[in-house]
Chains A and B, each alone.
Chain A
């Protein structure tokens, strides 16, 4: 158990820039309705690929959201992160000057960083040679720009970490931000993630045989893989005491988290290690397995993920599995932002009272065994009290967060 004195930490602001709309409310309503955010790829010429669908963010103008950043100076992942952070701060209905003046910072997850910037530079390299790459563009390529963009947009002077632990990265940021606020190291923190659709990930996942054609169907017998996707997501964290004092709307309390590493294989996940991560998260949060009302799955849509994830959950929960669903069925795999969107929908589920669905399910794969309730179709009215949010990544980087309704 942690040795330092601690305060309770709550989420009071949510921000989303997604294929299902801008703002946490629009995003959550679409998820609850089981809507699909996937569409033919526009951000690069996908005509040479056998599979041409992705969960892209269309028609989003960061100028409508950002107040400080000059849009032309930043890469797309930075803009997604900063926009989501601004939306979260606005949603928290707190005086931005109060946050700026406090010890406040950000931790933002990513898989591919400023991939769109890097691909522009690569195309200059191919066409003209390295000696003719645009140095102004090159300055925007390092991944540290993503969290720096959040601190610059919100005028924060605290820590700004871009955590690049691939597809579980947002859960890492939530855990870290939670610890900083809990221990008093920070007064406020933004946690979240951002990634942009790009050609190199599309090619990579296709070559791994992991890419679905146009529909993502986690838990379904006919699933065929992931869909690449993009977005920005942010959660605003503050101490419970402060939130109550200012009469803030509290979405959820962060109860704890677990993190570990399979240390076995670069891409194949390990159910035993994931089960250990779940137990570590429960211990850290001070909850028992039978108290978990819902699991927001990593649920990528590959047969391997489904089999591994359900096996791991069975190791911990036995045959009484909580409902477990995947929002990737609707928005695709937003990579470093994925577990951030998972955390956001968990907050909304706790606050509004529902279970997020898995869309596109026609037949739950019997090979997954009995008792898999993936909430097929549309959201289900419910009153979850404690929920669990999964994030797994290449390299066996597992991170699981536990959120609860404030009691």
Chain B
């Protein structure tokens, strides 16, 4: 990506334990603790659950019964992202619009429950055929395409905690290389007993940290395309760097990654007014991440957003929720146009990422 032709974000839909929409992210948090968790037996740890999730309010009643929670969350986020655009997409636009969604391993609840049926039924094949497609990881992204008639490239990016930025990288290339004109890009993670127990037993969560969930989906397109269509940008995407630089040393690898992203953005470190950190709900990784950011920015740390500390650890949705959190903060904070925010994300697999966002004028 070059600084001469930046991509912009013109729409955003977010579903988080704070509620639905960017407004909910900056509103006083009071509902999350009371929200009813999804069905199943959860471990004795804090859970950050999406409150009042009435999917039918957004999607209608038809065809939602067989959708798993992962798909529901991402569909609502996609619906909101498209609905908040300044100008709607035409049918012609939709033929040239892709979908790029980050996921951990699809809905681990769907695949685990489907697999379980093969063990507990009288015969292993007495499974329900309609539950098979949701057990495959691309189900969610392809449902977003089907519900919204989006016929461009449809990709599912399973990059673990870095998934949100992996999806941005993939979508950026597809747009710049002319495969599509714009993309719905984001990531999703559902709260379910399977992953909650895995987190609890892993010992990786910081004390009192919650396991969370959520989905954030953005409309990303070229600045020219957005201007021609009369859609005002919410953010300019100056750079997105991801890679396994952190395999041997997270702090150093992340610092290198941030350095590359800053260089590519062509903005000085002093312009960075906000850093969104990813790993504040995780033992060890959180400290390494913060040290990496300090090292990259010459020792100082600008204002920080600790999205996961507030919303809970949401694995593959992490970076997408961080990006939404930056947009939410910009709505209420009096930062000037041209202010730069970094979304920094660290995986437990050596992957690190840094997204550089600039607040557009106006």
- Name the A residues within 8 Å of B292 (CB-CB): none
Q: Which of A123, A130, A160 contacts B243 (CB 8 A)?
A: A160
Stretch at the interface among A58-66, A244-252, A392-400: A392-400
A277-329 interface (Cβ within 8 A of B): 280, 284
Is B86 part of the binding interface, using a Cβ–Cβ cutoff of 8 Å?
no
- A143 and B158 CA atoms in complex are apart in Å by 6
Q: Which of B123, B129, B133, B151 contacts A261 (CB 8 A)?
A: B151
Q: Cβ of A203 and Cβ of B127 under 8 Å apart?
A: yes
Is B138 part of the binding interface, using a Cβ–Cβ cutoff of 8 Å?
yes
From residue A129, how far is it (CB to closest CB) to chain B in Å?
8
- A273 and B154 CA atoms in complex are apart in Å by 13
Q: Known contacts being A163-B155, A261-B145, is A393 close to B119, with CB within 8 Å?
A: no
Q: Known contacts being A133-B198, A148-B349, A166-B137, is A176 close to B156, with CB within 8 Å?
A: no
Is B118 part of the binding interface, using a Cβ–Cβ cutoff of 8 Å?
yes
In which size bucket is the chain A interface? 35 or more
Q: Cβ of B155 and Cβ of A165 under 8 Å apart?
A: yes
From residue A374, how far is it (CB to closest CB) to chain B in Å?
28
Q: Cβ of A148 and Cβ of B351 under 8 Å apart?
A: yes
Q: Known contacts being A121-B112, A261-B154, A273-B151, is A144 close to B104, with CB within 8 Å?
A: yes
Is B202 part of the binding interface, using a Cβ–Cβ cutoff of 8 Å?
yes
Q: Cβ of A397 and Cβ of B154 under 8 Å apart?
A: yes
Q: Cβ of B178 and Cβ of A1 under 8 Å apart?
A: yes
- Name the B residues within 8 Å of A284 (CB-CB): 179
Q: Which of B124, B170, B350 contacts A203 (CB 8 A)?
A: B124
Scan B109-144; emit 1 where CB is below 8 A from any A CB, else 0.
001101111111001110111001101111101110
A145, A258, A264, A395: residue with the most chain B Cβ atoms closer than 10 Å: A395
In which size bucket is the chain B interface? 35 or more
Q: Which residue of B lies closest to A121 (CB)?
A: B112
Is A331 part of the binding interface, using a Cβ–Cβ cutoff of 8 Å?
no
B98, B142, B348: residue with the most chain A Cβ atoms closer than 10 Å: B142
Q: Which of B123, B150, B247 contacts A151 (CB 8 A)?
A: B247
Q: Cβ of B179 and Cβ of A141 under 8 Å apart?
A: no
- Name the A residues within 8 Å of B349 (CB-CB): 144-145, 148, 160
Q: Which residue of A lies closest to B245 (CB)?
A: A157
Q: Known contacts being A158-B244, A199-B118, is A208 close to B132, with CB within 8 Å?
A: yes
Q: Which residue of B lies closest to A147 (CB)?
A: B159
Is A407 part of the binding interface, using a Cβ–Cβ cutoff of 8 Å?
no
- Name the A residues within 8 Å of B350 (CB-CB): 148, 151-152, 160
Q: Cβ of A263 and Cβ of B111 under 8 Å apart?
A: no
Q: Cβ of A395 and Cβ of B142 under 8 Å apart?
A: yes
- A190 and B154 CA atoms in complex are apart in Å by 21
Q: Cβ of A176 and Cβ of B149 under 8 Å apart?
A: no
Q: Cβ of A203 and Cβ of B125 under 8 Å apart?
A: yes
- Name the A residues within 8 Å of B288 (CB-CB): none
Q: Cβ of B143 and Cβ of A266 under 8 Å apart?
A: yes
Q: Cβ of A119 and Cβ of B115 under 8 Å apart?
A: yes
Is A212 part of the binding interface, using a Cβ–Cβ cutoff of 8 Å?
no
Q: Cβ of B116 and Cβ of A125 under 8 Å apart?
A: yes
- Name the B residues within 8 Å of A280 (CB-CB): 179
- Name the A residues within 8 Å of B84 (CB-CB): none
Q: Which residue of A lies closest to B99 (CB)?
A: A261
Is A170 part of the binding interface, using a Cβ–Cβ cutoff of 8 Å?
no
Is B173 part of the binding interface, using a Cβ–Cβ cutoff of 8 Å?
yes
Is A242 part of the binding interface, using a Cβ–Cβ cutoff of 8 Å?
no
Q: Cβ of B197 and Cβ of A133 under 8 Å apart?
A: yes
- A187 and B44 CA atoms in complex are apart in Å by 48
Q: Cβ of A111 and Cβ of B137 under 8 Å apart?
A: yes
From residue B338, how far is it (CB to closest CB) to chain A in Å?
26
Q: Cβ of A141 and Cβ of B198 under 8 Å apart?
A: yes
Q: Which residue of B lies closest to A108 (CB)?
A: B158
Q: Known contacts being A145-B349, A200-B114, A393-B138, is A263 close to B149, with CB within 8 Å?
A: yes
Q: Which residue of A lies closest to B161 (CB)?
A: A144
B84-107 interface (Cβ within 8 A of A): 98-99, 103-106
Q: Cβ of A206 and Cβ of B125 under 8 Å apart?
A: yes
- A290 and B100 CA atoms in complex are apart in Å by 33
- Name the B residues within 8 Å of A262 (CB-CB): 145, 151
From residue B284, how far is it (CB to closest CB) to chain A in Å?
14
Q: Cβ of A157 and Cβ of B154 under 8 Å apart?
A: no
From residue A390, how far is it (CB to closest CB) to chain B in Å?
16
Is A27 part of the binding interface, using a Cβ–Cβ cutoff of 8 Å?
no
Q: Which residue of B lies closest to A257 (CB)?
A: B179
- Name the B residues within 8 Å of A130 (CB-CB): 41, 193-194, 197
From residue B174, how far is it (CB to closest CB) to chain A in Å?
8
Q: Cβ of A148 and Cβ of B136 under 8 Å apart?
A: no
Is B326 part of the binding interface, using a Cβ–Cβ cutoff of 8 Å?
no
A191-226 interface (Cβ within 8 A of B): 198-200, 202-208
Query: What are 28 pairs between A and B in contact, CB < 8 Å?
Result: A49-B124, A112-B136, A113-B137, A113-B158, A126-B120, A133-B201, A139-B198, A143-B103, A144-B104, A144-B159, A148-B347, A151-B244, A157-B244, A157-B253, A163-B170, A164-B157, A176-B170, A179-B177, A185-B173, A203-B127, A205-B132, A207-B127, A259-B152, A261-B142, A263-B148, A266-B139, A266-B142, A395-B145
| Residues of chain A at the chain B interface (Cβ within 8 Å) | 1-4, 48-50, 105, 110-115, 118-119, 121-123, 125-126, 130-131, 133, 135, 138-139, 141-148, 151-152, 156-166, 172, 176, 179-180, 183, 185, 198-200, 202-208, 258-267, 273, 280, 284, 393-397
6 closest A-B pairs by beta carbon, nearest first, are A395-B142, A144-B160, A204-B132, A143-B158, A261-B154, A164-B137
| Residues of chain B at the chain A interface (Cβ within 8 Å) | 5, 41, 43, 98-99, 103-106, 108, 111-112, 114-120, 123-125, 127-129, 132-133, 135-139, 141-143, 145-146, 148-160, 162-163, 166, 169-170, 173-174, 176-179, 193-194, 197-198, 201-203, 242-245, 247, 253, 315-316, 347-351
Given A4-B176, A266-B146, 11 more A-B residue pairs with CB atoms under 8 Å apart are A110-B158, A112-B111, A118-B112, A121-B194, A135-B202, A143-B137, A144-B104, A203-B125, A208-B129, A259-B152, A396-B146
